[in-house]
Amino acid sequence: MEAVNTEEIQLRHVEKDVLIPKMMREKAKERCAENVTAFNQCCKETGFLMVFKCREQNAALKECLTVHYRDPVFFEECKQEYIKEKLEFLRTGVSTKNRKQRLPTSM
């Protein structure tokens, strides 16, 4: 199979402005896992008062996520991953989500 230069792939507006940023949000949450866990734990412990008592954890989480959202290198990484997934879908007709799902052990 011939190698495809991912730089030559034209992306639609919705891919650049919606789908790739969605991927970035998901990956940023993974990269900020400690902050996500701290904020979630604080919310569970304080209930309705979380708005007041979890400000510090919320600010740390927002700061971590924002660093990733504004990083052009991170955007490019996600863009290249998106393009590879798109090309694989065009080649196989199977989405990444379906490829990653396990088949049931008993039918």
pLDDT in tens, 86-97: 999 988 888 877
Task: Report residue 19 as tokens.
Answer: 């789908």
Q: In 6-54, where does DSSP find H-type helix?
A: 13-14, 20-31, 33-46, 50-53
Task: Report residue 106 as tokens.
Answer: 């008993």
| Rounded Cα–Cα distance for residues 55 and 77 (Å) | 31
* pLDDT confidence band for 79 (50 / 70 / 90): very high
Task: Report residue 87 as tokens.
Answer: 């090309």
Pick the more confident residue, 105 or 36: 36
pLDDT per position as a tens digit, 14-45: 999 999 999 999 999 999 999 999 999 999 99
- Other C-beta atoms closer than 10 Å to the C-beta of 79 total 19
**By the 8 A CB rule, do 58 and 39 touch?**
yes
* pLDDT confidence band for 57 (50 / 70 / 90): very high
Residue type, 9: I
DSSP track, 59-83: HHHHHHHHHHHT-HHHHHHHHHHHH
pLDDT at 6: 61
